[in-house]
Amino acid sequence: MGGAWVQFRIRYYMFALVFVAFDVETFFLYPWAMSFGVLGVSVFIESLIFMLILVVGLVYAWRKGALEFS
């Protein structure tokens, strides 16, 4: 019988972290999208800033080569 310890490459963790980040983004943006008409422009600007921060993080990870699975 084999052991329970399995090593994963660090690249797998990078993909998992990016997935979790964008999954959490969806979790936060869905309620906002459902009540967009009630909340107003200020919440729209806040959500754009939130998405911009995530896109900047994604571009940073992409340029660092963290998203290449080789």
| CB contact at 8 A, 18 and 67 | yes
pLDDT at residue 2 tops 70: no
pLDDT tens digits, one per residue of 15-67: 788 888 888 888 888 888 888 788 888 888 888 898 899 889 889 888 988 77
User: What is the pTM for the complete model shown?
Assistant: 0.64
| CB contact at 8 A, 66 and 13 | no
Q: Which two tokens stand for residue 42?
A: 């200020």
Phi, psi (rounded to 5 degrees) for 64: -75, -10
| CB contact at 8 A, 34 and 9 | no
Residue 52 confidence (pLDDT): 93
3-state helix, strand, coil split of the chain in percent (to 5) is 75, 0, 25
